[in-house]
Amino acid sequence: MNPPTPDRADHLPLLDRDESILRFNLRVLDWARRTDVPLLERLRYLCIVSSNLDEFFEVRAELHLSASRQGKHTGPFSPHSHDRLSERAHALVDEQYQLYNESLLPAFAKSGIHILSHNERNHAQQQWVKSYFQNQVKPLLTPVGLDPSHPFPQVANKSLNFIVRLSGKDAFGRENEIAIVKVPRVLPRVIRLPDKLAGKRSLFVSLSSVIRSHLSDLFPGREVGQFSQFRVTRHSDLALDSEDVQNLRTALRQGLQHRNYGAAVRLEVSSGCSAFLADFLLQQFDLPAQALYRVHGPVNLVRLNQLIDLIDKPKLLFAPYRASFPAQMVSRGSVFEQLRKKGDMLFHQPFESFDGVLAFLREAVHDPQVLAIKQTIYRTGTDSAMMDLLTEAVRRGIEVTVVVELKARFDEEANINWAEKLERIGAQVVYGVVGLKTHAKMMLISRREGAHIRRYVHLSTGNYNPKTAKLYTDISHLSADTALTAEVESVFGLLASQNRPPRLQQLWVAPFHLQRRLLDKIEQLTQAAQAGVSTRLVAKMNALTDEELVRALMAAGRAGVKIDLIVRGACILPAQVPGHTDNICVRSVIGRFLEHSRVFYFRSGAEESLYLSSADWMNRNMLRRVELAWLVTDSVIRQRIVDECLVAYLHDGCDAWDLQPDGRYVRVNPADPQQRHGAQAALMARYSASSKK
């Protein structure tokens, strides 16, 4: 077969981004199916998929829904895209509940764990539930009967509610038949029955079941007929007009107040909800029929995470993993001294502990020679040892500058609170650049050493969050290299003063030139391959949706560049299409830990270069965020990254999925059992603290 002409190849249709996101969740759901995974962990993966779907609807669905309502085709959004994605989303939700009802619940029963419905509860259990309802639940419920003076109430995003159809007349002799019961978020969604009522089993009831069993108690003198639990998902992506914003923090606080009441995009009801009540709710929320999801179970599977915490059965969980303290930092000497004398350090989280990063900052905070600490904060959580250390640094008189990204999606409130706390005690807080998100992860320490000031830097592919550092795979890089630290200082200056930095050699910075440098690298490999030089490109990232980069990769592949892409989530590049992308393989690895590190490797002949980065290959990361990619110059560290982050994953025979030309993913299943090993399992074995004893 003749190779395609450039024109023909350039018009090869790309895969749909949102369909790719839903396919990613199918791969996550597979972990909930796997019988080799501990039972409670299977439930956790089911909850993760539900949480991911919530965010998908909160962020991505409104654009398709608007296009459908208007009958317009705008880019990838159209009535057809809305119908297609609705069909895929419904299928995915159906798979979730089928798995929950037909696999997980029976497996729980075999392990002595039961979530009892009303009909499954004996008399003593029913009496206990009734008492619980009367004392703990009913006082917090306020049923609202709908009439002209009591319109349909505001229903918060993702909250649990009940709709009830009543017969008979109210206290005023009127026949208003519809009532709404809003369920406060403070109530636990899963309740454990006392041991005396459970025997040797672990028995639970869901809050929705408790309320459902006692709805009639909320409407004395009326007869409860049709009813259903329901939950509405709303568009929740905060949008600010950078031209009108005078104070970003104030604007975001105001936006957060309205997030829970954005436009409705999805309605979930019980499978037995009557057509009358379902149509009534759709009309109230102004939603089309495709937005209705009838579910065979609780309308919010995410909250079943509470069950995991209530069950004390370690055998139903993954064996605890205790990460080793970073091997390059095991000596008790000064981190600063080690960086000066021995060179750069690399920590591979979560296989190596995030405590190494905290130790670096802790030494800086307690070192009287340290003059200044500068750090970016994107996601650090509400309870952060790192933020406590920065607070202590301010109190010790160190000049602390923190670039806080207030627009980190769904972490806005926590970041606003940290910003206000740091400002109150005297830290210099910068909110990045209006219109851009500061997603770069960097920390710079300035220390007086004799007559000079020396700088030390920490750069990371992931967030400064000690909790997620135990769950996400990321690379932390420490260095005292004068050229690198000077360039990081320039980037901090850019964020504070917004002055353009000098020409950088080791850093690629978005939105200025990260995308351009990547395109240049790909083009260099393309030209080398056309000249007959052996070329290789391997890139690991979370998402690949930037069309310009995708087209450049496809052109490089056609020129003969051998390309392997390790993309955890959404990918719009159609790999392995005969005559078009034969030289490009795309692999997704879904494991116990969330793959999060970004690594870009380029080789032309004997020349190779490797970059670590905070950025995925998405248009937003290239053009609408402040991102970093940095060159790894230490050959030993570079080889370690290649071995652990690239080679190991390309040979994963356990948790890997290969992308097919039509957008489907097929799980890797080597014929040789000895090849069925996982990259994460191998790294856990290598770095486990127990293996160091």
Active-site positions?
439
What does each C-alpha distance from 24 to 17, 29, 462, 570, 574 come to in angstroms?
A: 11, 9, 20, 7, 15
**CA pair distance 161, 263, nearest whole angstrom:** 17
Note the Cα 174 to chain centre separation in Å: 49
Q: Which residues pair with 188 in a beta bridge?
A: none
Partners of 181 in the β-ladder: 162
Q: Are strands 190-192 and 202-206 parallel, antiparallel or unpaired?
A: antiparallel
Residue 395 in tokens: 């109190």
Measured CA to CA, the distance from residue 53 to residue 493 in angstroms comes to 39
Q: Where are the beta strands (DSSP E) in 525-573?
A: 535-541, 562-567
| Tokens found for residue 92 | 């995915």
Our measurement of the distance from residue 301's CA atom to the centroid of its chain's CA atoms, rounded to an integer in Å, reads 17
Residue from 12, 103, 99, 95 nearest 53 by CA: 95
CB-based contacts of 82: which residues, under 8 Å, 6+ apart? 64, 65, 67, 68, 290
CB crowding 80-91: b at 16 or more within 10 Å, else e = ebbeebbebbee
| Side chain identity, residue 240 | L
| Total H helices, total E strands in the chain | 23, 27
Omega before 350 within 30 of 0, i.e. cis: yes
Per the CB < 8 A criterion, the answer to whether 154 and 232 are in contact is: no
Phi then psi for residue 312, to 5 deg, are -100, 75
Contact residues for 221 (Cβ-Cβ < 8 A; gap 6+): 168, 171
**Of 314, 261, 272, 319, nearest in space to 294 by CA:** 272
**Please, which residues bridge with residue 617 across strands?**
544
Q: Encode burial over 341-362: b for 16+ CB neighbours within 10 A, e otherwise.
A: eebbbbbbbbbbbbbbbbebbb
Assigned token pair, 205: 């009831």
Would residue 88 be called left, alpha or beta, if left means φ above 0 and alpha means ψ between -120 and 50 degrees?
A: alpha
Q: Among residues 220, 229, 212, 215, which one has the least CA distance to residue 168?
A: 220
Burial 573-607 (b: 16+ CB within 10 A, else e): bbbbbeebbebbbbbbbbbbbbbbbbbbbbbbeee
Q: Helix, strand, or coil here: 437?
A: strand
Q: Any residues with CB less than 8 A from the CB of 301 and at least 6 apart, and which?
A: 46, 47, 50, 96, 100
